[in-house]
Structure 1
């Protein structure tokens, strides 16, 4: 990943940069790296492998945002999209729109994701209900719902790991 001031790569180590790097530069690079990890063709072995990238992308929003990681038959990323934006503690999510977009992209599976601006990743009853509605709607057109991840500054919670899928 290139930045006007520094370069980030796969190799772990200490790097010397030619000029001053600000916190904003580092955060910008983290966002670029996270987007790159969720880019087309990347295989998601298990939903938890995407947690840190999803958290980097979504944990600082001041309002709820609902997104979908669209995957092919081999669980490679087709695209990550933020589909709905809401208020401080809720976002209206429409199964029809999620299903429509999944069909447009010809996906085989999805990982649902949304943030909790409060910082607490614990899923609400409303989160569980919309997960079931989306899973049911998508399954009608043979699209698997692999997980629903709640992202917050305090961490991520997988509804699949909790047994809610």
Structure 2
């Protein structure tokens, strides 16, 4: 007969005991005691109730390289990993959106330039894994609080078209007093190019007659975030 010996209950699946141990580790020692793949396991346990999720978590880490890479991955790429269906992919994308909105809240509550670490975290979260270059502008009011974060240009793997006069027009529409320029380098190298430097200067010159300040230009990539101001380029 299937299961254990006659008169004895079936043994629990091995992964069920692993789940209980992992939950206990989380509750007793805190999430910081877990490895990245174990944090991912805990999440997957809620979405995949009757399967060993450890191999799935490790497969996701192997394919996308990091937790941030997993959350940034398109749903169409997530479902290519064995064990990840459309429903689980949708849940992971919802978690990514929660992370993005929470980061945006952090920089919306306080003046952006006085909560610099939160701003850098937000920029990194939003752009470090983008496959194409994207140019965004953070429009700020007179108190340096965020009015809007808008994409002003989509591009290829190494170029995004930017129109300084369009940025000026939008800043005036929003009654912005200052702004922060943001774009990504899909290569991962966040070193500003000569084109990046020249374009930044052109935007500053176009905004100057309107008394609109460019506080900084941030370049994000898998290598981190580079600040023009900190680099002496503004």
2:223 corresponds to which residue?
Answer: 154
State the Cα distance separating 1:29 from its structure 2 match. 2.7
Q: Which stretches in structure 2 are left out of the alignment for 5+ residues?
A: 1-28, 32-41, 48-56, 58-70, 72-91
Q: Which stretches in structure 1 are left out of the alignment for 5+ residues?
A: 1-12
Determine if the alignment matches structure 1 residue 43 to structure 2 residue 69: no
- Compute the TM-score of the two structures, normalised by the length of structure 1: 0.82
Q: Which moved further from structure 2: 24-33 or 153-162?
A: 24-33
CA contact (8 A) 2:111 2:143 kept: yes
State the Cα distance separating 1:43 from its structure 2 match. 1.4
Question: Separation in 2 of the partners of 1:37 and 1:132?
Answer: 29
1:20 corresponds to which residue?
Answer: 46
What are the residue-to-residue correspondences of 1:15-164 with 2, within 5 Å?
Answer: 20=46, 24=92, 26-39=95-108, 42-46=110-114, 48-49=116-117, 50-164=119-233
Question: Separation in 2 of the partners of 1:143 and 1:14?
Answer: 46
RMSD: 2.3
Instruction: Point out 4+ residue stretches in structure 1 off by more than 4 angstroms.
Output: 13-17
Question: Separation in 1 of the partners of 2:183 and 2:110?
Answer: 20
The structure number with the bigger radius of gyration is 2
- Compute the TM-score of the two structures, normalised by the length of structure 2: 0.59
